[in-house]
Structures are given as C-alpha cells and as structure tokens.
Structure 1
Amino acid sequence: MTKFSDLNLDAKVLKAVADTGYETPTPIQAGAIPPALEGRDVLGIAQTGTGKTASFTLPMITLLGRGRARARMPRSLVLAPTRELAAQVAENFDAYAKYTKLTKALLIGGTSFKEQDALIDKGVDVLIATPGRLIDHFERGKLILSDVKIMVVDEADRMLDMGFIPDIERIFQMTPFTRQTLFFSATMAPEIERITNTFLSSPAKVEVARAATTGENIKQGVVIFEGSTKAKADREKRDLLRALIDAEGDACTNAIIFCNRKSDVDTVAKSLSKHGYDAAPIHGDLDQSHRTRTLEGFRDGTLRFLVASDVAARGLDIPAVTHVFNFDVPSHAEDYVHRIGRTGRAGRKGTAIMICAPRDVKNLEDVERLVQTTIPRLDNPTGTTPAEASETEAAPAAATEDKPKRTRSRSRRKDSPKPDESAPTASPRTPDPAAATEDAQTVAEDIHTEPAAKAPSQPRAAQTTEEPQSDAPKGGRSSRGGRGRARGGNDQREGQSNDKGGHGRAVVGMGEDVPDFIAKSFAERGAG
C-alpha cells in the first residue's frame, strides 16, 4: 500500500500531513502527485470528497519550496468557482505549508479590495481566487500574472455551470505558455474536454473512478412526494423533511439541506427554526462575513443544520457531516454528485436522502442516468402515499360531478325546442298564486340549468308565443335567452287581472303578497 512517504514530497510537507492524522493517500492523491512533482500537466477526474484538494496543494508546496515571490507577481494560481471552495483551499494550504515560509493571498468577493491589494503588493507565492475577483484586480492594474509557474483549476465542471468558462480562457491567456497546469473535476462535460485539449499539454490523466460516480460509502434514498393539494404542497413538503430528520434519530448528528432556490433556503431554514431545529441558511445573497460565521458554527458543532443553495455544494470539507438532505432534486444532474459528496468524506459512512415532487421526476431520471444506478425508493414517514393524495383530491371532484351542471347561456340553445307558432293563445285568466311561483322557478331553471336536463312539462300560455327577434346588439338584456323569455312572458300577460284589484299586469313570483306600491306602479303603467 502506498504511503505519503513514498510520493517524494518535501520533508516539511510530510510532517504537516502527519500532523493532520493522514497516513495513506487516497487513489486520486496517489495517482496525481507523482506526475505533478515531475512538472507534467495533470487532468484529474474523481468523485467529490476523495481528496482532490490535497492532490494539488501538496505537490505545489513542494515545488514552490525554492524561490521567492515578487510584488504583484504570484508564483502560482488556484482558481475556484465559489468563495467557500476558495476559502477551503486556503485552509488546506495553511495546514500543509505551516512549516514553510510560503505566503498566500485569498481574492474573493465580499472582502475589502484594499486589504487584498496590500497582500499582493508584498508578494505571494500562492494566489487563491475566484475568476471574477481575479479579473477585477488584473484590470485595475494591481496584478501581474506573467510569473505564474503553476496554475490549478479546481471543480472545472462547476466553472462551466456558473458561466466562468470565458473568464477561465481569458485567464489562461494572461499566464505564460510554459506554466504547469493541474485540472481537476468530478465530471467531464464536452466543453471541459475542449478546454483541456486547448490549454493542457500532454496531460497525465488520472481517473480513479468513472466520471460522475458517487461514493460507495454513501447510503442513498429518495422519497416520492405528492401534496394533497397544490396550496398545501409546500407546507407538507417541509413537514416531510422534518419527519425524515426525526426518522434518522441519533444517527443524524448534523446535516446539510440543499434547496434549488435561494428563497426556499430562507423559508426552509425559518421553518426548521420555528419547529425547534437548530438551523441557519447560507446562499449567495448573504454577505461574506455572515456566510463565514455560519460555516464556522456548523464546523465547530454549534449549528446542527445548514440549509444551503448550490453555492455551498462545492468546497465544504467538513468530515463529520453525517447526512445530506436534498429538499429539491437538483436541476443539473452533476450537482447531485457534489451535493451528496458533502457526506461520507475521508472514508466515513454517510446518508443522502432526497425528496422528489411530481415536477422533479424528469430531473430524477437525469440524475439516475448520470450515476448509472437506480436510487432506492423510501417510504414516506408521514404515512401519506402519492396514491392516497390523489384519492383525496379525486373525492371532492367526484362529489362535484354528481351535482347537475349549471351554466349561464347568453343565447338560445340550438337544440332547445321551438315554441309552436300555431298553438292557440290562452284566454285571459286570473293567475293562480301557486302557478305564479312555479313560473318564477321555471325561469330561474331556464337561466341556470341546461335545457336537456329539464323534465318535460305541460305548455303554458307564456310559452306559446315566440318572442320577436330584436335588433339589439349582443350582450344586451333582450339578447339573453332566459331573461328574454321571462320578459316576453310578462308582456303576454298585459291586460290580465290579479289578486290586487285587477290591474293590467300580473306580478309574477310574489304570490298573494304583492306590495301596494308595486301594484300601483303596474296600474299606472297599464293606464298609460
């Protein structure tokens, strides 16, 4: 079995490694360190959490042991996609270079330009930066990259996802052609392969595992979730997350919970805190000092749950993370590999559980296609299955179907029967109160109920005469099928008597209780 002492590292570096407690290099370290010490370009492909950071920091410190940096001219450059990952690399450098006199500078957003300029002016051996902040310093004339001897691109596939590839190509062109390049990634997209072919010279390819594979020491599972209703789905999904955490019991000492959207990160963290779980959010909209404090609390154990966006999926090297919960299935399948890689690090066991809502099914299929395995399905600890949720939704719908449909028709149905024009007109009569009430109910049914659903009834005088066509525009009251017929029926009762003194028109729908002021009004209109 290979040991660090077999890799030709500097004695001071070996002493620092021994202080960290590591004795045996990981496969990616054993494969990448020897060609890197020979000065060759290296293309390293390995799943996250396998020690890629030490694969380039250890040989870099050994190679930079001799020489001295000049002002504004770093001797080596490490590019990282996120602030957290850049800070993680800086911590590794401090740990492994503590017995040397090498200096470093960390260039990331959210910190003072003035402080960073002061470090660069003194001269640094190792410059660790995110692409955007590095270009800012270069364009301000505060940085010269012509003396870079070693250049490292870490998490190259994440650079692609975040749109940094044009910046990476520009930075490559700022550095000398004779530089040594170390390129590391967990996955290899076609665009990444193109860059390696362009900027790496006969690299030693070290692939210790198939690209985009997950650690065998990570227990994976997915819960298929479907809310009872659309309005309740988000709340029920948060209930399910808490149930999954509780189901893990004491085995879940701490966990990182990943969400796809920053707004969901805040919402989930607030919900967990409200229910008594020690949780805090971390995402790109928070200032750097807040993010740093949150990470420190999670590392030292004062914070149990870290709710994060994908900005934290890379660069969180916290060996003791026992669980990763994917509140959402990641939009990019590659992110799943990096998310669950936050647990099961340094040979430890880990658990990764994911919640898949109906809208995430396609993303789940993409993840399983990438990792070339079917993620085991887990039971819903809340006891609600998707089928039960569907039945719950279907029950009110079935009850609604049993009720007769009600519609408002603005025109006469083509299939409704036409009145018989040859039918004799009824002679004037005294309206019966019960019949008047029945007429009003029939009119209401004409307005609200499909004609086909009506029971056949005996023709009445109000139905024997067809309403004359009107030239009024559509949408006017006379064009409404139901209301037009109701008005026509009243017009035909012109001259009929009623119970309130034999006035000219009958008052339909009030029975025997017609108020005097209405009767009087009808009498005046009849007289006119």
Structure 2
Amino acid sequence: MTKFSDLNLNPKVLKAIDEAGYETPTPIQAGAIPPALEGRDVLGIAQTGTGKTASFTLPLITMLARGRARARMPRSLVLCPTRELAAQVAENFDTYAKHVKLTKALLIGGVSFKEQDILIDKGVDVLIATPGRLLDHFERGKLILNDVKVMVVDEADRMLDMGFIPDIERIFGLTPFTRQTLFFSATMAPEIERITNTFLSNPERIEVARQATASETIEQGVVMFKGSRKDREASEKRKVLRLMIDGEGEKCTNAIIFCNRKTDVDTVAKSLKKYGYDAAPIHGDLDQSQRTRTLEGFRNGELRFLVASDVAARGLDVPSVSHVFNFDVPSHAEDYVHRIGRTGRAGRDGKAMMICVPRDEKNFDAIEKLIQKEIPRLDNPLGTKAPEPAEASADDKAEAKPKRTRRPRKSKDDANQPEEVKAEAPAQEADVKDTPKPEQEATAKASNNRGGRSSERGGRGKGRNDDRGGDRGGNKVVGLGDHTPTFIQLSFDERRAS
C-alpha cells in the first residue's frame, strides 16, 4: 500500500502530514502527486470528498520550498470558484506548510483591497483567489502574473456553472506559456474538455472514479411529494422537511439543507428557527463576515442545521456531516453529486434525503440517469395526502363569498308603472328586440347616415344621459331604450330644426 513517504515529498511536508494524522494517501492523491512533482500538467477527475485539495497543495509546497517571491509577482496561483473554497485551500496550505517558510495571500470578495494590496506588495509564494477579485487587482495594476510557475484550477466544472470560464481563459492568457497547470474537477463537461485541450500540454489524466458518481457510503432516499393545493405546497413542503428531520432522531447530529434559490434559503432557515430548530442560512448575498461566522459555527458544532445554496455544495470540508437534505431537486444533475458529497466523507457513513415535487420530476429523472442508479422512494411523512389546514385560508374565504350581481337601473317610466305592467316589461322588451318596428328602422338609418357628425358632437359632449327619456320637443326617440345618449339626442334636434 502506498504511503505519503513513498511520494518524494519534502521531509518538512511529510512531518506536517504526520502531525495532521494522515499516513495513506487517497487514490487521487497517489495518482496526482508523482506527475505533479515531475513538472507535468495534471488533469484530475474525482468525486467530491476524495482529497483533491491535498493533491495539489502537497506537491505545490514541495516545489516552492526553495526560492523567494518578488513584490507583486506571485510564484504560484490557485483559482477557486467560491470564497469558502478559497478559504479552505488557504487553511490546508497553513496546515501542510507550517514547517516551510512560504508566504500566501488570499484574494476574495468581502475583504478590503488595502489589506490584500499590502500582502501582495511584500511578495507571496502562493496566491489563492477567486477569478473576479484576481482580475480586479490585475486591472488596478497591483498584480503581475509574469512569474507564475504553477497554476491550479480547482473545481473547474463549478467555474463553468458560475460563468467563470471567460475569466479563466483570460487569466490563462496572462500567465507564462511555460507554466505548469494542475486542473481538478469532479465532472468533465464538453466545455471543460475544450479548455484542457487548449491550455494543458500533454497532461497526465487521473480518473479515480467514474464521472459523477456518489460515494457508496451514502444512503440515499427521496420523498415524492405533492401538495394538497398549489398555494399550500410551500408550507406543506417545509412541514415534510421538519418531519423528515424528526424521523431521523438522534442519528441526525447535524445536516446541510440545500435549496435552489437564495430566497428559499432564507425562508427555510427562518421557518426552522420558528419551530425551534437550530438553523442558519448561508448564500452568496450575505456579507462575507456573516458567512464565515455561520460556517465556523457549523464546523465547531455550535450550529446544527446549515441551510445553504450551491455556494456551499463544492469543496467545503466538514468531515462530520451526518445528513444532507435536498429541499429542492437541483436543476443540474451534477450538483446532486456535489451536494450529497458533503456527507459520508473520509469513509464515514452518511445519509442524503430529497423532496421531489411534480414539477421537479424531469430533473429527478436526469439525476437517476446520471448516477445510473434508482434512488429509493421514501414514505411521505404527511401520508398519501397532505392534511387540510384547520382554518380556512384567506383564498378559501375569498372563494366562499357569493359573487355580487349588478341590478339594472330603473327608469322614471318604470317607477310610475303599476306592478302588473312591470311584470310584463321583460316580455315586451324581448318582443321589441326580436321584431323591430318601422320607426326604429328609420331611426337606425338616420343614425347611420349622420354617424360621423354624431361622433364628433359626442366627443365634445358631456356624455351624460337625458333622464327625461325624451327629446326637447317632447317626442321620444324609440328603439334605444329608456336612456338616449346626448350625442344621439342632439342629432335629432338638428334634424327637426332644419
């Protein structure tokens, strides 16, 4: 069996590894470290949680142990898709390089430019950065990349999902052509394949597991849930989540709950806290200081439930996560593998559970197709049908109200008629509508002949009805009901006056 002592690492690095309690490298580490030490480009493909970070950190420290960086000219560059992953790489670097005199700088958003500029001006051996902040420093003239000897791209497929590929291509163009490149990813999309063919020179390909596979130590399950009504689905879905957590009991020591949208992250976290669960949100819109505090609290065991967006799905090393709950089915099937990879790490057992609503079934089918495995169906904690709420909602009350109908207005002629005549009025009106009288036809023709002039007068008129129901000469205009519009009434006045 291969040991770290067989990999030609720097003795001071081996001492730090031994103090960290590691003896045997993982398959990706055993495959990637030797060619990296030889100066070859490396393309590493492995599922999340297999130790990819140490695969490039250990050889990087060994190769940089000799030499010194110049001001604003880092000797190596590590690109990460998220702030949390970059911070984790920096922690790994501190762990394994504590006996080697190397300097580092962490360039991420949410931190003052001034503090980062001071570190860069002193000269750093390892520069760990997110693509956006790195380019910000470069465009401000604070960074020169001409002396980069080793460039590492971590979680390249996540870079693709977050739209960083154009930035990565630009950064590749700013570094020397003779650099050594270490490229790591959990999946290999066609766009990632194109970049590796363009910027890597005859790389050593290490693929220790089939692409996009989940660890065998993770027990998976899914609840196929359908809300009783569309407007109640969200609240009932949150109740299903709480019942799933309660069903695990003490086995659920801590858990990460993933949502697709940032607004849902806040809503679910607030709902869990309302019902007495120790939960906090983490997503890209939060301040970096708050994200750091939340993550540290989760790692230290002070926080039991971490409600997260996919910003926390990649590369975060929290070894003791017992459960992962997918509140939403991820839109991209590959994200499912990265999400559930937060549990069952380092050989531990883990459990991943998911809630699937009817509109997510297409994405769910894509996940099963990707992992080439059927995910076991779990019983719905609410039963086959979600229970009706005890109190009717506002929408229910609104639907229960009878619709108001508009009563027809009464004319003065109707008011003066006796009850017997009023009862016969509808029949008389029907006869009038069905069989027009000669004077009605004459009136209609006259109106049509003078339609243009009437419209002009109607535009200048006040648009009010003549309550008298007749014209100024006392002759009532028939065929137009009890209320004759003013513009039509004026047309008849002109006609009689001529």
TM-score w.r.t. structure 1 length?
A: 0.75
Preserved CA contact (<8 Å) 1:84 1:314: no
Equivalent-residue separation in structure 1 for 2:298 and 2:246 (angstroms): 19
Equivalent-residue separation in structure 2 for 1:76 and 1:55 (angstroms): 15
Identity of aligned residues (%): 78
Equivalent-residue separation in structure 2 for 1:332 and 1:47 (angstroms): 16
Q: Which residue number corresponds to residue 499 of structure 1?
A: none
Q: Which residue number corresponds to residue 303 of structure 1?
A: 303
Query: Does the residue aligned with 1:111 lie in a helix, a strand or coil?
Result: coil
In 2 relative to 1, CA 293–465 (structure 1 residues): closer, same or farther, beyond 3 Å?
closer
Gaps of at least 5 residues in structure 2 are: 389-398, 400-404, 407-417, 449-498
Q: Which residue number corresponds to residue 468 of structure 1?
A: 435
How far apart are residue 384 of structure 1 and its match? Answer: 3.2
Is 1:192 the equivalent of 2:159? no
Equivalent-residue separation in structure 2 for 1:462 and 1:379 (angstroms): 65
Q: Which residue number corresponds to residue 104 of structure 1?
A: 104
How far apart are residue 153 of structure 1 and its match? Answer: 0.2
Q: Which residue number corresponds to residue 167 of structure 1?
A: 167
Query: Does the residue aligned with 1:184 lie in a helix, a strand or coil?
Result: strand
Gaps of at least 5 residues in structure 1 are: 390-399, 401-406, 409-429, 444-459, 474-528
Number of residue pairs the alignment of both structures matches: 419
Q: Which residue number corresponds to residue 275 of structure 1?
A: 275
Query: Does the residue aligned with 1:355 lie in a helix, a strand or coil?
Result: strand
Q: Which residue number corresponds to residue 214 of structure 1?
A: 214
Deviations 1:359-406 (A, max 9, x none): 1111111111221211111111122348x99xxxxxxxxxx9xxxxxx
Matches within 5 A, 1:66-145: 66-145=66-145
Equivalent-residue separation in structure 2 for 1:163 and 1:145 (angstroms): 22
Equivalent-residue separation in structure 2 for 1:97 and 1:243 (angstroms): 45
Matches within 5 A, 1:71-470: 71-385=71-385, 467-469=434-436
Give the letter aligned to residue 105 of structure 1: A
How far apart are residue 334 of structure 1 and its match? Answer: 1.2
TM-score w.r.t. structure 2 length?
A: 0.80
Q: Which residue number corresponds to residue 393 of structure 2?
A: none
Give the letter aligned to residue 140 of structure 1: R
Give the letter aligned to residue 17 of structure 2: V
Equivalent-residue separation in structure 2 for 1:242 and 1:11 (angstroms): 50
Give the letter aligned to residue 55 of structure 1: S
Give the letter aligned to residue 345 of structure 1: R
Equivalent-residue separation in structure 1 for 2:368 and 2:351 (angstroms): 17
Query: Does the residue aligned with 1:383 lie in a helix, a strand or coil?
Result: coil
Equivalent-residue separation in structure 1 for 2:431 and 2:72 (angstroms): 102
Give the letter aligned to residue 77 of structure 2: L
Equivalent-residue separation in structure 2 for 1:67 and 1:146 (angstroms): 16
In 2 relative to 1, CA 465–86 (structure 1 residues): closer, same or farther, beyond 3 Å?
closer
How far apart are residue 142 of structure 1 and its match? Answer: 0.5
Equivalent-residue separation in structure 1 for 2:112 and 2:324 (angstroms): 33
How far apart are residue 464 of structure 1 and its match? Answer: 7.5
Q: Which residue number corresponds to residue 17 of structure 1?
A: 17
Equivalent-residue separation in structure 2 for 1:140 and 1:348 (angstroms): 46
In 2 relative to 1, CA 236–56 (structure 1 residues): closer, same or farther, beyond 3 Å?
same
How far apart are residue 278 of structure 1 and its match? Answer: 0.3
Preserved CA contact (<8 Å) 2:228 2:385: no
Preserved CA contact (<8 Å) 1:86 1:315: no
In 2 relative to 1, CA 69–223 (structure 1 residues): closer, same or farther, beyond 3 Å?
same
Deviations 1:138-174 (A, max 9, x none): 1111111111111000000011111111110110011
Matches within 5 A, 1:484-523: none
Equivalent-residue separation in structure 1 for 2:7 and 2:101 (angstroms): 22
Equivalent-residue separation in structure 1 for 2:433 and 2:288 (angstroms): 80
Preserved CA contact (<8 Å) 1:80 1:153: yes
Give the letter aligned to residue 246 of structure 2: D
Larger deviation: 39-48 or 361-370?
Answer: 361-370
How far apart are residue 468 of structure 1 and its match? Answer: 3.2
Equivalent-residue separation in structure 2 for 1:62 and 1:431 (angstroms): 108
Give the letter aligned to residue 371 of structure 1: I
Give the letter aligned to residue 327 of structure 2: F
Query: Does the residue aligned with 1:256 lie in a helix, a strand or coil?
Result: strand
Preserved CA contact (<8 Å) 2:77 2:126: yes
Give the letter aligned to residue 14 of structure 2: L
Which 4+ stretches in 1 moved above 2 angstroms?
430-433, 460-473
How far apart are residue 462 of structure 1 and its match? Answer: 8.7
Q: Which residue number corresponds to residue 524 of structure 1?
A: none
Deviations 1:108-138 (A, max 9, x none): 0000000000000111110000000000001
Q: Which residue number corresponds to residue 495 of structure 1?
A: none
Give the letter aligned to residue 468 of structure 1: T
Give the letter aligned to residue 337 of structure 1: V
Equivalent-residue separation in structure 1 for 2:433 and 2:246 (angstroms): 73
Equivalent-residue separation in structure 2 for 1:280 and 1:87 (angstroms): 20
Query: Does the residue aligned with 2:273 lie in a helix, a strand or coil?
Result: helix
Q: Which residue number corresponds to residue 447 of structure 1?
A: none
Preserved CA contact (<8 Å) 2:172 2:199: yes
Equivalent-residue separation in structure 2 for 1:463 and 1:36 (angstroms): 95
Preserved CA contact (<8 Å) 2:75 2:125: yes
Preserved CA contact (<8 Å) 1:326 1:353: yes
Preserved CA contact (<8 Å) 2:256 2:323: yes
Larger deviation: 312-321 or 464-473?
Answer: 464-473
How far apart are residue 432 of structure 1 and its match? Answer: 7.7
Q: Which residue number corresponds to residue 522 of structure 1?
A: none
Give the letter aligned to residue 186 of structure 2: A
Query: Does the residue aligned with 1:77 lie in a helix, a strand or coil?
Result: strand
Equivalent-residue separation in structure 1 for 2:433 and 2:90 (angstroms): 91
How far apart are residue 467 of structure 1 and its match? Answer: 3.7
Equivalent-residue separation in structure 1 for 2:384 and 2:276 (angstroms): 23
Query: Does the residue aligned with 1:365 lie in a helix, a strand or coil?
Result: helix
Give the letter aligned to residue 10 of structure 1: N
Equivalent-residue separation in structure 1 for 2:347 and 2:40 (angstroms): 29
Query: Does the residue aligned with 1:69 lie in a helix, a strand or coil?
Result: coil
Equivalent-residue separation in structure 2 for 1:255 and 1:328 (angstroms): 15
